[in-house]
């Protein structure tokens, strides 16, 4: 019986010391400044005219881009042939280095990715 009582008293004492240590450790944390969270603005939808260099046909396309790219005209940086007679045009927004690929099918349908 004395052994059990001693074990219980030892566990309670150890628990109290642990609570005191945690309270002292938390005391320094509560004074730390809260982290500042700056969320970026949501993407915006922009439209521009695409002209396929080989055929000189123009198409209007729309894409969602970062807000810092709004109002900026993208530059054509690459034009290559795709599968099934498609043309793949890569446009880059110079202000934010965001790239958009526009796929023009042989039937004139545009796909933005």
Residue holding tokens 């004139």? Answer: 108
Q: Where are the domains of the chain?
A: 44-112
Res 28 pLDDT > 80: no
- Per the structure block, which two tokens stand in for 17? 């010391």
The pLDDT tens digits of the residues spanning 52-110 come to: 887 888 999 999 999 998 889 999 999 999 999 999 999 999 988 899 999 999 998 99
Question: Which stretches of 1-113 are DSSP H helices?
Answer: 2-29
Return d(Cα 97, Cα 82) in angstroms, integer.
Answer: 23
β-pairing, 44-51 vs 110-112, is: unpaired
């Amino acid at each position: 019986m004395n052994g059990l009582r001693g074990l219980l008293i030892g566990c309670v004492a150890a628990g109290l010391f642990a609570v005191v240590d945690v309270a002292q450790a938390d005391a320094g944390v509560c004074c730390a400044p809260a982290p500042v969270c700056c969320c970026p603005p949501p993407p915006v939808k922009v439209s521009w005219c695409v002209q396929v260099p080989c055929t000189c046909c123009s198409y209007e396309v729309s894409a969602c881009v970062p807000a810092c790219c709004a109002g900026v005209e993208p530059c054509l940086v690459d034009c290559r042939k795709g599968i099934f007679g498609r043309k793949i045009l890569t446009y880059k927004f110079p202000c934010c280095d965001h790239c958009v690929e526009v796929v023009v099918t042989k039937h004139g349908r545009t796909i933005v990715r």
